[in-house]
Amino acid sequence: MSTTTHITIIGGGFAGSEAAWAAAQAGVRVRLYEMRPVRQTPVHHTAYLAEPVCSNSFKSNLVTTASGLLKWEMRQLGSIVLACAEEVAVPAGEALAVDRELFAQVVTQRLESHPLIEIVREEVTDILPDRPLIIATGPLTSDALAQAIGRLTGSKRLYFYDAVAPIVDAMTLNMERIFVASRYGKGDAAYLNCPMTREEYEAFVDALLSAETVEPHDFEEPRYFEGCLPIEEIAARGRDALRFSRFKPVGLIDPRTGKRPYAVLQLRQENLQGTLYGLVGCQTRLKWGEQKRVFRLVPGLENAEFVRYGVMHRNTYIHSPTLLEPTLQLRSDAGIFFAGQITGVEGYIESAMCGIVAGLNAARLVKGMPPVTLPPDTMMGALLDYISHYAGKDFQPMNANFGLLPEPEPPVRDRHARIAANVERAQRSLREFLDGIQR
């Protein structure tokens, strides 16, 4: 039985606020450190906790969407972020959107008035000796603490920049156009290849060059490695630049024509289930709507559903697959938890979700109970399973999406029926999980 009577949280954003609430509601005292307003980040404007830094949308509320299912699950676990969001929601169709400032104000009031939560306005510059300790300092963790985290995890396992290529749902690919092969037939036929004729390539390059991009923030001076250059910057170097680099067709023969295509966009499998494919070398700053429009010009991707769009932005995150358990505990020190965007999830709600789990588990440690792992067939469990077990080479932050869930048994071919089966299973699984854990 632990003798500690409280937990310490660093960072009062989406994850830190949820963690504080979850632990306090479980009857455990919380000390929450938030550096604002003493020290601001480059994107926050207020001193409020859980301040949304950009969009005021928390995405869909429909349970048949990945984000909606995630919210349904979080509500069963008492999410404070969602409870406050509903109080200050603005009309947004089937999405949950909030009055940004009012939302952060309400979360702050709720936490400040909780008898078990103490909020300390101070920058934490080192890993505190307190245990349990939750680190939830987000994509813009202050420099001093980031260095301390680098010492804790090994600096090679701490990243400062996201350069993510779009990821698509495998079920929405047009396999009539795509062929499976590895370059020069080496190894397993591991890649899906979208072959382009000269006309198709030219049309793609034209669309890419005229598409709208997201401008970097002032603090995001882009210093790319050559390997991480946005695809549109490569295309701007010359008409053939892409087909001599990321889209090179050498060593690939299209079995339908028996010839080498003019250019090839390759797709690489992203998860063990083979439900997600990443567009190789397509890191981009294109606006999301533009990504859909431009990449759908590629043969085979005409109807592709994007489960994750490409982004390139400042983002502090750790290599969770080698560092974290799905309980969000550090493998090398079970008293330290990470939560939020710093773990490699992406988005307000995904970050908040981590906070609930870290807060719940840290409180369980204080009470002498074992931490819990969410079932991997729930959206919460699937995301935590992804960040803690991803086995590929390039670990990149991830949003909630149905491709993370295991295939239903027996497999369901129709996309809508598959989603319905996934939702039903996730809801049942979460209910059984909650009934089964001692609280």
Ligand X SMILES: Cc1cc2nc3c(=O)[nH]c(=O)nc-3n(C[C@H](O)[C@H](O)[C@H](O)COP(=O)(O)OP(=O)(O)OC[C@H]3O[C@@H](n4cnc5c(N)ncnc54)[C@H](O)[C@@H]3O)c2cc1C
Binding site for ligand X (CB under 6 A): 10-16, 33-36, 41, 43-44, 53-55, 123-124, 136-142, 145, 217, 314, 340-342, 347-348, 351
The rounded distance, in Å, linking the Cα atoms of 342 and 390 is 16
Minimum Å distance from CB 118 to ligand X?
Answer: 14
The rounded distance, in Å, linking the Cα atoms of 219 and 13 is 20
- Cβ proximity to ligand X, 57 vs 373, nearer residue: 57
What are the CA-CA distances from residue 107 to residues 88, 101, 346 (Å)? 11, 10, 20
- Cβ proximity to ligand X, 124 vs 383, nearer residue: 124
- Cβ proximity to ligand X, 136 vs 379, nearer residue: 136
- 102: enclosing H helix or E strand: helix 100-112
Minimum Å distance from CB 430 to ligand X?
Answer: 22
Minimum Å distance from CB 345 to ligand X?
Answer: 8
Minimum Å distance from CB 352 to ligand X?
Answer: 7
Of the chain, the end-to-end C-alpha distance in Å amounts to 16
Minimum Å distance from CB 305 to ligand X?
Answer: 19
3-state secondary structure of 235: helix
Residue nearest to ligand X (CB): 13
- Cβ proximity to ligand X, 33 vs 201, nearer residue: 33
Return the bridge partners of 162, or none. 313
- Cβ proximity to ligand X, 146 vs 420, nearer residue: 146
Question: Which CB contacts under 8 angstroms, 24+ apart, belong to 179-185?
Answer: 179/254, 179/255, 179/256, 181/252, 181/253, 181/255, 183/250, 183/251, 183/252, 184/251, 185/251
Please provide the size of the chain in residues.
Answer: 439
Minimum Å distance from CB 39 to ligand X?
Answer: 8
- Cβ proximity to ligand X, 107 vs 301, nearer residue: 107
**Other C-beta atoms lying within 10 Å of the C-beta of residue 31:** 16
Q: How large is the greatest C-alpha to C-alpha distance in the chain, in angstroms? A: 72
Which stretches of 170-320 are assigned E, i.e. beta strand? Answer: 179-180, 191-196, 263-269, 276-279, 306-308, 311-318
Minimum Å distance from CB 33 to ligand X?
Answer: 5
- Cβ proximity to ligand X, 44 vs 364, nearer residue: 44
- Cβ proximity to ligand X, 138 vs 403, nearer residue: 138
**Other C-beta atoms lying within 10 Å of the C-beta of residue 240:** 13
Minimum Å distance from CB 40 to ligand X?
Answer: 7
Residue 52 near residue 103, CB atoms below 8 Å: yes
The rounded distance, in Å, linking the Cα atoms of 123 and 142 is 8
Enter the DSSP assignment of 394.
S
- Cβ proximity to ligand X, 41 vs 396, nearer residue: 41
Minimum Å distance from CB 13 to ligand X?
Answer: 2
Phi and psi of 402, rounded to 5°? -70, -20
- Cβ proximity to ligand X, 33 vs 277, nearer residue: 33
Minimum Å distance from CB 179 to ligand X?
Answer: 36
- 30: enclosing H helix or E strand: strand 29-34
